Amino acid sequence: MDLDELRRRALLVHDLYDELNRQEHGRVWTREEFMLGFMGDAGDLAKLVLAQEGARTSRPDAQAALEHELADCLWSVLILAHRYDIDLENAFVRTVDELGKSISARLE
């Protein structure tokens, strides 16, 4: 599956959340609320990574939970990029290229 397909599927769920939030709360989430949701997911991911590394108590479904939180974080990044009209693919390629050049220059 490529990034366009991931983005398309993420937006389908985004639209369902919008519909649910309109029905239950009379409004949709703001960009700030999506960011806060992402921060919560990132915190959950951090706890799972710590558990995987033995710094926290692990849980029986640790691998499945880690997969779920990584996917949640990816979903949030895709939605935030959409909400801020960011071409994530181009931004990623540009950023990774810049990092690669910067790191390579420091290694020389």
pTM, 2 dp: 0.90
| Domain tally, the chain | 1
What residue numbers bound the domain in which 49 lies?
A: 30-107
Please, which pLDDT band fits residue 7 given cuts at 50, 70 and 90? very high
C-alpha atoms less than 13 angstroms from C-alpha of 58 in its C-beta half-sphere: 11
The CATH number given to whatever domain includes residue 64 is 1.10.287.1080
17 in any annotated domain:
no
55 in any annotated domain:
yes
Tokens describing residue 38: 């992402």
- pLDDT tens digits for 10-42? 999 999 999 999 999 999 999 999 999 999 999
pLDDT at position 58, please?
85
- At residue 71, what is the residue type? A
- Contact between 41 and 73 under an 8 Å Cβ cutoff? The reply is yes
7 in any annotated domain:
no
Contacts within 8 Å (CB) and 24+ apart, 89-95? 89/3
